């Protein structure tokens, strides 16, 4: 697991132009989370989606680092964070990782933002980070059953297969660039918005020993985010709730989340689940308008 002290950063450095630092955050259990820190200003922590990594925000971060100190991290086992054999990858573990990251680094007045699984994690982590987090900005929170499978027929077949008890591990190991591309395209209105080099990077990190098991564990644990929605009522910091018009979530599900959070949702038109890649200018605008900059 601890094969090197410098995290993989070739792809990240390419889109940052070398600005900022790619580092490891050492957790109390000995495992490490890869993260990028760049810029100056109030802290903005970005949490990525299902089956991606911190580079998911590559089209947003460069527009934000002159106004914020941006922290983008890879969830446990994902991207280039350590893969720990037998580790849990459920809602509780992802939330604990974010909570530990923010508290250990001593971050205060944080804007905690995320998309998809990252948005749901941000909302739930803020409950435990009430002394550290100033606001949550949640884009397309993934907190409903069968989200990925709603993207397209291919995603439905793969998602169902990965979650299956009998042959899920086999399906997960069969992932190729073509398969991953087909699945992710279900989260875009304009599939050309999925960067080809990012897709290649996801496959590169996904070829690490143990990654298929992590991917399957994440997929099978997403139901934990569904049951955790009841805790949204305990979020006691201001929340900006954002949905893409063509997100996988249904209108009734969005309205239910908004009621639990006591807020009204903003809609990004003509956009799918992966708004940071498809409409980064809108994400940047919303982050700027709803985050403290002084």
Residue-wise pLDDT for 59-94, tens only, equals 999 999 999 999 999 999 999 999 999 999 999 999
**The pLDDT of residue 76:** 98
- 166 within domain boundaries: no
Q: Give me the domain span that covers residue 260.
A: 10-145+222-290
- 23 within domain boundaries: yes
Assign 145 a pLDDT band (cuts: 50, 70, 90).
confident
SS3 151: coil
- 153 within domain boundaries: no
C-beta neighbour count of 40 within 10 angstroms: 10
The CATH number of the domain holding residue 26 is 3.40.50.1820
**Total count of domains within the chain:** 1
Kindly give the interhelix angle for 177-184 and 153-163, rounded to the nearest 10 degrees.
110
- 131 within domain boundaries: yes
**Which residue from 46, 45, 15, 48 is spatially nearest to 273, judged by alpha carbons?**
48
- 249 within domain boundaries: yes
Name the E strands within the chain.
21-26, 32-38, 43-47, 69-73, 110-115, 133-139, 239-244, 265-268
- 111 within domain boundaries: yes
SS3 111: strand
- 168 within domain boundaries: no
- 154 within domain boundaries: no
Residue-wise pLDDT for 219-232, tens only, equals 878 889 999 999 99
């Amino acid at each position: 697991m601890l094969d090197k002290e410098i995290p993989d950063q070739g792809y990240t450095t390419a889109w940052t132009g070398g600005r900022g630092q790619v580092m490891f955050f050492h957790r109390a259990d000995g495992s490490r989370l890869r993260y990028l820190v760049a810029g100056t200003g109030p802290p903005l922590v970005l949490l990525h989606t299902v089956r991606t990594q911190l580079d998911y925000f590559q089209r947003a971060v460069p527009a934000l680092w002159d106004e914020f100190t941006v922290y983008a991290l890879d969830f446990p086992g994902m991207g280039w964070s350590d893969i720990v054999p037998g580790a849990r990858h459920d809602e509780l573990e992802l939330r604990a990782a974010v909570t530990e990251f923010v508290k250990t680094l001593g971050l205060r007045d944080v804007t905690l933002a995320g998309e998809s699984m990252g948005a749901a994690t941000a909302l739930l982590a803020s409950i435990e980070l009430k002394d550290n987090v100033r606001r949550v900005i949640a884009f397309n929170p993934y907190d409903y059953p069968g989200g990925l499978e709603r993207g397209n027929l291919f995603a439905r077949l793969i998602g169902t297969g990965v979650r299956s008890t009998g042959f899920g591990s086999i399906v997960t190991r069969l992932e190729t660039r073509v398969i991953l591309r087909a699945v992710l395209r279900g989260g875009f209105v304009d599939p050309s918005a999925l960067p080809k080099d990012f897709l290649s990077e996801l496959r590169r990190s996904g070829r690490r020993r143990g990654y298929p098991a992590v991917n399957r564990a994440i997929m099978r644990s997403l139901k934990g985010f569904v049951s955790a929605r009841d805790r949204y009522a305990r979020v006691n910091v201001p929340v900006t709730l954002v949905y893409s018009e063509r997100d996988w979530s249904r209108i009734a599900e969005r309205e239910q989340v908004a009621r639990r959070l006591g807020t009204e949702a903003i809609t990004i038109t003509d956009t799918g689940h992966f708004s940071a890649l498809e409409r980064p200018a809108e994400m940047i605008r919303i982050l700027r308008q709803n985050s403290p900059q002084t």
